[in-house]
Amino acid sequence: MELKDILNKCDHTLLAQTATWEEIKGICDDGMKYGCASVCIPASYVKQAAEYVEGKLPICTVIGFPNGYDTTAAKCFMASDAVENGAEEVDMVINMGWVKDQKWEDLLAEIKAVKAACKGKLLKVIIECCFLTDAEKIKMCELVTASGADYIKTSTGFGTGGATRGDVALFAKHVGPQVKIKAAGGIADLKDAEDFIRLGASRLGTSRVVKAVKGMESTGY
């Protein structure tokens, strides 16, 4: 697989609680240099980053992150605010307690409401696989498909586990044809990245792929 075909599927990510503007600017520079799909950053930096990249790179942010238990109204406000500030993509976390309570109608309604609040921008739905059973993951594939969201995403990277090959394969079997897959959390190197893409992921949430490429460049690869 060509390196550029991996990089253009990467949401180059920095979501650390201590992230500074200099660090955010740095991943924006890397995202533009290496042709990444987007940079995924905290909402408080979206406006500044969007102005900085001047349309050369999509800005992605997260809402209801990482726990997912904000109210639907709060998530909708966060999504709308992010889009107004220049976000082209929004990654939302579902209410995992509602999954455990089997509140399927509430989950579907929330995803639809957030999608509407995105005003036509891309919505990725994080279901945090490490906390769900396979049956719950399959149900969420069905709900995300029915909601009109653009992507289903494995993980926040802040839970007890990240993307697994098994979860991406499961998604590929159970989402509708219009729903794409994002693998995120723990993608360590280019081999991982290739594996997830071959299993059906269209996006990878990771900082390590760009770091790996920079490391290869520094050693004269």
CB neighbour burial string for 43-59, b if at least 16 within 10 angstroms, e if fewer: bebbbbbbebbeeebbb
150 is catalytic: no
Q: Which of the following is catalytic: 30, 70, 91, 192?
A: 91
What are 152's strand-pairing partners?
125, 181
91 tagged catalytic: yes
Distance set, CA 196 to CA 26, 69, 72, 164, 165 (Å)? 26, 28, 31, 8, 6
Q: Are 156 and 125 in contact (CB under 8 A)?
A: no
The one catalytic residue in 9, 75, 139, 153 is: 153
Number of residues in the chain: 221
DSSP one-letter code for 38: E
Question: Which of these, 93, 11, 25, 15, lies nearest to 60 by C-alpha position?
Answer: 11
Based on the residue annotation, tell me whether 153 is a catalytic residue of this protein. yes
Do 110 and 79 form a contact (C-beta atoms < 8 A)?
A: no
Spot the catalytic one: 30, 180, 182, 192.
182
Measured distance CA(199)–CA(164) in Å, rounded = 10
**What is the distance, to the nearest Å, from the Cα of residue 150 to the centroid of all Cα atoms in its chain?**
11
Structure tokens at 75: 């998530």
What positions carry a catalytic annotation?
Answer: 91, 153, 182
